[in-house]
Homo-oligomer: A and B are copies of this chain.
């Protein structure tokens, strides 16, 4: 078994740990930097009453604690299942270099998880989505962005 397969086995083991359903769904992830596991996560939505506590997000937060940074450049993430849009977004924001995944979002859909449906929803313009959304007070919010740009912050910080 090569190194990548070993890390993926670790992610799948974290998924398997959740098979009793008390923590959340059967998903696991590990974050690796310089051949060291720096973050581990399994789904903790139910355990922590946190809908954002998917395995990848939990593993990313764990890695950030370990490395004391919000920037995981140079890291690789191994996920037992293709990340949902929320988790893939988190992987991008964390600036992770590479993603390995095992099961696909269609495999997850067979197990009744909504990942595939959410991908379709996010690709639509807001008015076409199943969730209602409306725009309100755009000018007031844009004013805040303008002040941000004028203060020079926009050039310094990107995350």
Docked-complex contact B138 and A107, CB < 8 angstroms: yes
Docked-complex contact A51 and B25, CB < 8 angstroms: no
Beyond A45-B70, A86-B92, A93-B118, 14 additional contacts (C-beta under 8 Å) are: A19-B144, A45-B93, A46-B70, A46-B157, A51-B60, A52-B60, A86-B88, A86-B89, A87-B89, A89-B118, A101-B136, A102-B138, A102-B140, A119-B122
A contact residues vs B (CB 8 Å cutoff): 4-5, 8-9, 12, 15-16, 19, 21, 24-26, 45-46, 49-52, 54, 57, 60-61, 64-65, 68-72, 78, 80-82, 84-104, 107-108, 110-114, 118-119, 121-123, 126, 131-138, 140-142, 144-145, 147-149, 151, 153-159
